[in-house]
């Protein structure tokens, strides 16, 4: 059918690298990760219709969790079609992979999955160069996903087309989502004047692309520093096993208000005496 691509989606949870289980496997459900598929209005995806995009699925239970096996007819012009993933348990990252796309339009253009909770947006680009397998990322960084949060997943071609294109045979194509419980995780906090400016979780090798900008009346911001004196700047890479990072704002008091910043030493004391003499002369002039 011209302009129509047939995709079979398989969503599943694994802790270790294993072979996809069969429908005859044991029916023991894992509580650490679950998937709930709904449309944009929260309706269960039993047999929904999105214009000319039809999605339906069946489900079966295995010792690895509940597996949702979807079949979809996706028109190139109507991609993306949205589904919601609800997660339970701890922080995790989400990998996605495709098989059976060789010889199809996806091989030529690549396939992009976008994940969002309404505030944060993450992308996973499946391309021939990465063997159609990658993690969801925020720029260069692996996305850290929160528990008990609805994420909307949509799919689109990386290179858009303005006309109907025959996608080729995709009857054997499968898209696999794999949730991985987070390890190598760091808490990053920027603290200024006893208030947390920014706080988030990050994986090993996370790049802090831009540190927060703060201001304070009467002071000049000097930078973010850890308790051991390490400065955290734009482009800082969190190394493996570095631990949590707490950076505090450091300030330098301005002297443009004629109130001098006093340090230790005779020069500061001399400056104070000169200031007092100057103020006394101004007072004497005003009274005369």
pLDDT of residue 66: 42
Q: Which fold has domain 185-253?
A: Immunoglobulin-like (2.60.40)
Indicate whether 153 pLDDT > 90: no
Which one is predicted more confidently, 115 or 219? 219
Mean pLDDT of 146-166: 63
- Give per-residue pLDDT as tens, 214-225: 998 889 999 999
- Give per-residue pLDDT as tens, 267-279: 445 555 555 655 5
3-state secondary structure of 236: strand
3-state secondary structure of 288: coil
Render the burial of 38-61: b for 16+ CB within 10 Å, e for the rest. Answer: bbeeeeebeebebeebebebeeee
Indicate whether 210 pLDDT > 90: yes
pTM of the model: 0.55
Please give the structure tokens belonging to residue 144. 């850290």
- Per-residue confidence band for 258, with pLDDT thresholds at 50, 70 and 90: very low
- Give per-residue pLDDT as tens, 19-36: 233 333 323 333 444 555
Domain boundaries, the chain: 4-181, 185-253, 257-288
Mean pLDDT of 71-86: 43
State the Cα–Cα distance between residues 239 and 242, nearest whole angstrom: 5
Please give the structure tokens belonging to residue 45. 């995806």
Which one is predicted more confidently, 108 or 60? 108
- Per-residue confidence band for 229, with pLDDT thresholds at 50, 70 and 90: very high
Mean pLDDT of 53-76: 40
Indicate whether 199 pLDDT > 70: yes
Largest distance between two CA atoms of the chain: 103
pLDDT of residue 183: 74
List of residues 6+ apart from 233 with CB closer than 8 A: 211, 223, 224
Indicate whether 243 pLDDT > 60: yes
Neighbouring CB atoms inside 10 A of 155's CB total 23
Indicate whether 158 pLDDT > 60: yes
Please give the structure tokens belonging to residue 29. 């459900």
Question: What's the whole-number average pLDDT of the chain?
Answer: 65
């Amino acid at each position: 059918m011209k302009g129509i691509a047939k995709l079979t989606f398989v969503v599943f949870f694994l802790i270790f690298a294993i072979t996809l289980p069969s429908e005859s496997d044991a029916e023991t459900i894992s509580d650490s990760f679950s998937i709930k598929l709904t449309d944009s209005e929260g309706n269960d995806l039993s047999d929904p219709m999105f214009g000319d995009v039809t999605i339906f699925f069946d489900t079966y239970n295995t010792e690895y969790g509940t597996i949702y096996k979807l079949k979809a007819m996706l028109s190139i012009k109507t991609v993306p079609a949205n589904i919601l993933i609800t997660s339970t348990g701890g922080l995790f990252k989400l990998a996605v992979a495709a098989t059976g796309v060789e010889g199809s339009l996806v091989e030529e253009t690549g396939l992009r999955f976008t994940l969002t909770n309404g505030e944060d947006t993450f992308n996973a680009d499946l391309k021939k160069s990465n063997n159609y397998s990658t993690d969801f990322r925020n720029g260069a960084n692996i996305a850290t996903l929160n528990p008990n949060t609805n994420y909307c997943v949509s799919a689109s071609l990386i290179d858009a087309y303005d006309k109907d294109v025959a996608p080729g045979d995709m009857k054997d194509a499968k898209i696999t989502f794999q949730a991985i419980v987070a390890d190598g995780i760091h808490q990053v906090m920027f603290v200024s004047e006893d208030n947390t400016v920014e706080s988030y979780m990050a994986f090993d090798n996370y790049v802090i692309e831009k540190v927060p900008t703060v201001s304070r009346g009467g002071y000049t911001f000097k930078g973010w520093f850890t308790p051991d004196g390490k400065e955290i700047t734009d482009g800082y890479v969190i190394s493996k096993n570095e631990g949590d990072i707490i950076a505090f704002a450091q300030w330098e008091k301005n002297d443009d208000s004629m109130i001098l910043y006093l340090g230790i030493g005779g020069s500061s004391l001399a400056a104070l005496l000169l200031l007092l003499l100057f103020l006394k002369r101004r007072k004497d002039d005003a009274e005369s």
